[in-house]
Structure 1
């Protein structure tokens, strides 16, 4: 078993549905053209052959064995729908795009509408990506399944059209034999075999579902992405079981709960949290971690990295100089399992002995491993630092300006909100008690945050971009932050809304909220509730310290 198997297992457990659009679906298997007797051609035969060869590819028949395709998909657990666009060309693009929001895999014929040279297929792809962007983006596999052998021209035409569409963000580029972008899009080309098993690279309809599942699995290229797919799959599998727990008899207690709240809008979030808690309980029972985060799974992932097996390089600074130390994959696994401090001396000596370069530095100090371990999996210290901040942001924030979903459901200002002021270039963290964010006057309590360049910031938030990369800013809560705290007035809260709304500015492409004095603040993120609550608790402990005069010689620090 290798990491590709982990990818495929996670992807196949996740993918449920597949849409295939083709204007020549047939019920019976496609038969290859019968062999003809070989003879020396005459002049008339040559002329006739030239006429056949001159027939445009777009006008040739490329039938689809719909019955074989659907059966093969069902055998893999995929629900497959075959759509014939003939006679419905005007609306099929929007219909397929709408259905694709709930489909995992989409396959399109290239020549439809009596040989349109990919016009309808390109339009469908464009509509699908519009829909994906409207919901904030998603992983998306689209396959062009056609008898047209000109793979390069087809992919280039699609890329050209998508890059010219102003409403589609993210540049599409051709890498090898696929089209990709930074938002999780993957467009591939597969050739129809049309019953001819002798075609080396062609794929039959019965082979296509498994072929596309394997391509879909390549969207999940990391251990954590496998865990994400398997976790969501587990949630899907337990959906009806969880639904059975929420019977109509529970509405009464929920109404009772809502009636006792001073602000009834709080109950809406509570209802969702109860459902999510039930889902989390079922996911825990599915043993996702025992399948995708074991030592063996980690080793399979590491073996796929370009550094494997002997070139995992620890990069660290010593006396303002960058040092390097190479480790074998077994050393990396051992450190992850036992920690560097528990690493036996013989293993350390073995690691030193494995270094081929006689001028290599000696075994790094313990703090080099604790601070720079992530450099083993990156090419530079800077790349490792970026990935560390990205992961910290993911684990500590529940929402941010990166989410396009907020444009339909704006975020709320409250405990854990991080905002930025252009006026003084400062970052501020809201520590307003949750119950006070939806009641009374719009006065909110904030503490300032300091920008830090160290590897251990308290908070990481996205703030714009640095070229093509998201700019993740490391922030820390200053000591005795309560002495620098401030109150910002955002006006009286509208009872109909129940909270201070954060608006999206289309022109500046930012989320912002003005205070009562019309000072504009850019909203960057909302921390997870417990993370923000811990910062508030730390601050309250600082305030509540007891200090008094005592006999100094006997005072215990």
Structure 2
């Protein structure tokens, strides 16, 4: 996987082995074959890896501790255990990943800040379960550190995060429970899932996976031990399982290509072109120049991705692999008919999605045909329920039409700017409803981009009111999310421009900010970005349409201005209407 580039190991004993360089004559090197799928993805150097530190003579089972908390007070357990850092670093290097080592002298203060700072820059973080001060006077478990890393990710808007706890504690299930309890303050209970298989203890939460592996130690069951030389391949496989989707794979592959091609991008933007850019900036103004510069970089990124053929991540082989994951193993999906529930043939359903036949027909298990010609969506054939299918279809629709979605943006994101394609909800005076504002109407801004910059005075902005649709109640062409009061949650909102005329346009006047444009202001009470006009009306930001979507909306209403009205025979007008339709 081209995305994975760097790993950080945090272990207070990480440098002990390097400093002392002990030689254990009783420990024989073990040849471990790297899995073919991992080797194929990562171009592993060599076929086998020598893993010093493996102990084939470990006892079959060691009595586990009663609880993780007891580990901190049990002196008989001793220190967390040394780690063969050299073997670990070499094994990561063999798969093209750089491994940084951090051996903190203490688990607090400046060392803790270093850990959090490096974790923010690392693709994978490996943590010893027990971190002790250098003099052994203070020992703490890593569950609070894991929580801080996840909270840091949440504050930044979320990120794909793989954490590994690498420990000599024999009771891995107790470690798992402690981490799960620590994460309950970050996630809702239903969002955290825990399990174990094949010696791997796992915790899953939105955008997060925590895996727990045992270091080589006489205290740990041998079927739970993962030697240092084996750990990189395990973690790469864990990361692949974490991001096995088609589109998420495309994103990760694209990010890896961008890393590889950074030099090519920089070559396209040499320092010498700063002079003409500054001339352009002086001519058009700072805001428009910044947007133009951003667009240039985005276009170059698109060019790099296209030439690198990143779309191969969603080609036929990957589609077939994902279909095998999504479709039930034993039989095809269950569908509802007028006569009851029936099952479709799995191979027919697979071929339908893989080859997309023109007849849009899938055979049932009884041999009868099941037509999908009139279906607007086939998602229900790939997921557990029709309700879940509707949710996923609508989420994909929101992704396709929204360039910026406040649901996925942190508070630190750039403030929205009122322009063509901005979606807002106008709120009533909060005093009218016991301090909880009501939505007056939903609006779409139609102000041309050139008229949203270099503003000196209060400027009118045209909006078209949008009709709110309930699910399945009439057509809609915009899917967004509207925040609840306080910004603690959001609900999906379906909006439509259907039937709107030029006469429905509304105008509100806004005062520009110091940058000579109309920017939103973050309001903690509402939990989101808000625009305010000169009359004091409050407009909550719901997102920005993608550029093409915004232009299409503007084009639809602009074309109405070109209609030619004339007086003619009413009979002739009616005849024309009948023939046309």
Aligned length: 504
Please give the secondary structure, in 1, of the residue aligned with 2:507.
strand
Q: Which residue matches 1:529?
A: 547
Asked whether 1:460 is paired with 2:479, we answer yes
Map of 1:302-317 to 2, 5 A cutoff?
A: 302-308=323-329, 310-314=331-335
Please give the secondary structure, in 2, of the residue aligned with 1:218.
helix
Asked whether 1:283 is paired with 2:305, we answer yes
Q: Aligned equivalents of 1:305 and 1:480: distance in 2?
A: 41
**1:18–1:80 CA contact under 8 A, matched in 2:** yes
Asked whether 1:483 is paired with 2:503, we answer yes
**2:9–2:102 CA contact under 8 A, matched in 1:** yes
Asked whether 1:388 is paired with 2:393, we answer yes
Q: Aligned equivalents of 1:399 and 1:116: distance in 2?
A: 50
Q: Which residue matches 1:451?
A: 468
Stretches of structure 2 that go unaligned for 5 or more consecutive residues are 29-72, 196-200, 429-438
Q: 1:305 to 1:333 in 2, by over 3 A?
A: closer
CA drift of 1:88 comes to: 7.1
Query: Alignment RMSD, CA only?
Result: 3.1
Please give the secondary structure, in 2, of the residue aligned with 1:243.
helix
Asked whether 1:23 is paired with 2:12, we answer yes
CA drift of 1:31 comes to: 4.2
Asked whether 1:93 is paired with 2:118, we answer no
Q: Aligned equivalents of 2:308 and 2:103: distance in 1?
A: 39
Asked whether 1:375 is paired with 2:380, we answer yes
**1:512–1:522 CA contact under 8 A, matched in 2:** yes
**1:430–1:446 CA contact under 8 A, matched in 2:** yes
Stretches of structure 1 that go unaligned for 5 or more consecutive residues are 1-11, 36-53
Q: Aligned equivalents of 2:142 and 2:444: distance in 1?
A: 48
**1:29–1:195 CA contact under 8 A, matched in 2:** no
**1:110–1:117 CA contact under 8 A, matched in 2:** no
CA drift of 1:57 comes to: 5.8
Q: Aligned equivalents of 2:167 and 2:99: distance in 1?
A: 18
Asked whether 1:441 is paired with 2:446, we answer no
Map of 1:20-419 to 2, 5 A cutoff?
A: 20-25=9-14, 26-27=17-18, 28=21, 31=24, 56=75, 58-60=77-79, 62-86=81-105, 89-113=108-132, 119=140, 121-164=142-185, 168=186, 173-176=192-195, 177-182=201-206, 184-194=207-217, 199-261=222-284, 263-290=285-312, 292-308=313-329, 310-314=331-335, 326-336=343-353, 339=356, 341-342=358-359, 348=361, 351-352=362-363, 354-355=365-366, 363-364=370-371, 366-368=373-375, 371-419=376-424
Asked whether 1:426 is paired with 2:433, we answer no
Normalised by the length of structure 1, the TM-score is 0.82
Please give the secondary structure, in 2, of the residue aligned with 1:479.
coil
Q: Aligned equivalents of 2:311 and 2:23: distance in 1?
A: 44
Q: 1:94 to 1:120 in 2, by over 3 A?
A: farther
Q: 1:248 to 1:88 in 2, by over 3 A?
A: same
Please give the secondary structure, in 1, of the residue aligned with 2:88.
helix
CA drift of 1:442 comes to: 3.0
Residues 427-436 or 470-479, more deviating: 470-479
**2:11–2:104 CA contact under 8 A, matched in 1:** yes
CA drift of 1:507 comes to: 3.1
CA drift of 1:126 comes to: 2.9
Q: 1:106 to 1:528 in 2, by over 3 A?
A: same
Q: Aligned equivalents of 2:181 and 2:482: distance in 1?
A: 31
Q: 1:227 to 1:408 in 2, by over 3 A?
A: closer
Please give the secondary structure, in 2, of the residue aligned with 1:402.
helix
